[in-house]
Chains A and B, each alone.
Chain A
Amino acid sequence: MAGEIEPRPSAGTGVPASALSGPPGQGRSGDLGDILERVLDKGIVIAGDIQIDLLDIELLTIRLRLLIASVDTAREIGINWWESDPRLSADANKGDPAESRKLEKRLGQGSDGDELEDENRRLRKRLERLERELEPADDDPDEADG
């Protein structure tokens, strides 16, 4: 499972962006993640003579192949697109009017939200079980009905 890939130590592609302290025009970091998310997913798409997956099938194929081909290399330079939900990466991320709603939705879809729901379900189950264990049947004659 992709989810089992361990987080990398802090060294690597992440270059702390100290843009705010730098002089104007020199702030951008050389963070590979920032570059890849732009050069692969953004920029104007004009058909070239050499048609490749990047244009035709977008990134999904590449992402999947990356997973199959070289997980270790990917981890070395810090890429794990395949862990992303393709439905999310497929949308254009654009559109001012609905941005706040989208933002909310996105944040809600984060792992915390899912985790929370799972946790709630687990807790409810556990609650039922523990209540049965903790409360002796003779304290509550109706318990068997519940």
Chain B
Amino acid sequence: MAETGAGHYVYCVMPGDAQPSLDDVAGMDDREPVEVLRHAGLAAVGTRVSLAEFGAEPLERNLNDLDWLARAARAHQAVLDRAFASGPIVPLRLCTIYADEAHVREMLERERAVLLDTLARLRDRSEWGVKLMVDARGRAARDPEPASPSSGREYFERRRRERQEREAAQGLTLRAAEEVHERLRRQATAATLLRPQTRELHGREGEMIFNGAYLVERSGVERFRAVAEELRAGQRRHGLALEVTGPWPPYNFVGPPER
């Protein structure tokens, strides 16, 4: 494929009558406006992008450039946030690109039924993320390694004690995560477990032991947050920090319905 000319990057799809306010949001290419293309009762939010940057070959290189990837992810998310403020959206995965607007229209026609179903299902609902962090360093600091054992028996005794403590802590965190998930999913229309982020991904001290996502009705958001706050207070006593993020566009709930 020749890497010249322009393509059409699509961020998300909205109902055909959506009126997102996109004038001052920077998309993938800040020289190009973020526009709404209406067709088949749907609205695709997109931007013209240069194929020199978003063509197959350069794109593959760019996705492996972490600075580029981070910028793209933030730009994608910023547009989704803006669109989501005005109504339901179906987020597309990062870097879904069409040759031109005619192909975007074809896609809207082809996927129309699924997109309309999904939009209907997601109306007035938002995604909330809930994570549990345990400060492993804090735990280690409370149990400094004492002087070398003077005998094998002492060594054993110490190791056995450490193991018991670790098992107890592990059981505690498992129960904590279960309690959090059980109580929050009762406040949600749907719930899903995400893989806990590694330390390098979340970028902080401590270990993430739980990462959940919840689809919450607009009318239930206040209650959801109140329950989360209650849980947060309870978990803090166990040395666990509960964190809530949201509202997110419903990234985790746009797949086909569970069987």
- For B91, list chain A residues within 8 Å (CB): 38-39, 42-44
Q: How near does chain B come to A48, taking the closest CB pair, in angstroms?
A: 4
**Is there contact, CB below 8 Å, between B203 and A34?**
no
**Is there contact, CB below 8 Å, between A52 and B221?**
no
**Is there contact, CB below 8 Å, between B152 and A8?**
no
The residue that B59 contacts in the complex, of A5, A19, A34, A52, with Cβ under 8 A, is A52
A78 to B245, CA, bound (A): 19
**Is there contact, CB below 8 Å, between A10 and B204?**
yes
> In this assembly, does A123 line the interface, its C-beta being within 8 Å of a C-beta of chain B?
yes
Instruction: Give the residue among B203, B228, B247 with the most A Cβ atoms within 10 A.
Output: B203
List the count of A-B residue pairs having beta carbons below 8 Å apart.
251
Q: How near does chain B come to A55, taking the closest CB pair, in angstroms?
A: 7
Q: Which residues of B in the span 213-259 have a Cβ within 8 Å of any Cβ on A?
A: 221-222, 225, 228-229, 232, 243-248, 251-252, 254-255, 258
> In this assembly, does A130 line the interface, its C-beta being within 8 Å of a C-beta of chain B?
yes
Q: Which residues of A in the span 79-104 have a Cβ within 8 Å of any Cβ on B?
A: 79-81, 83-84, 88-89, 92-96, 99-100, 102-104
Binds A, one of B19-27, B30-38, B96-104, B140-148: B96-104
- For A48, list chain B residues within 8 Å (CB): 10, 95-98, 107
- For B118, list chain A residues within 8 Å (CB): 44
Asked if A33 meets B202 with Cβ closer than 8 Å, knowing A38-B248, A50-B56, A110-B209, the reply is: yes
Give 13 new A-B contacts, CB below 8 A, not counting A27-B244, A43-B94, A107-B174.
A20-B225, A24-B222, A37-B194, A37-B197, A44-B93, A48-B10, A54-B94, A100-B182, A103-B181, A103-B193, A103-B210, A106-B195, A108-B174
Binding site for B on A (CB under 8 A): 5, 7-8, 10-14, 16-17, 19-20, 24-25, 27-40, 42-55, 62, 65-66, 69-70, 73-81, 83-84, 88-89, 92-96, 99-100, 102-104, 106-108, 110, 112-113, 116, 119-120, 123, 126-127, 130, 133-134
13 A-B pairs in the complex with CB atoms less than 8 angstroms apart: A12-B203, A14-B203, A14-B204, A31-B245, A34-B129, A35-B73, A39-B93, A48-B96, A49-B99, A50-B59, A77-B66, A116-B163, A119-B163
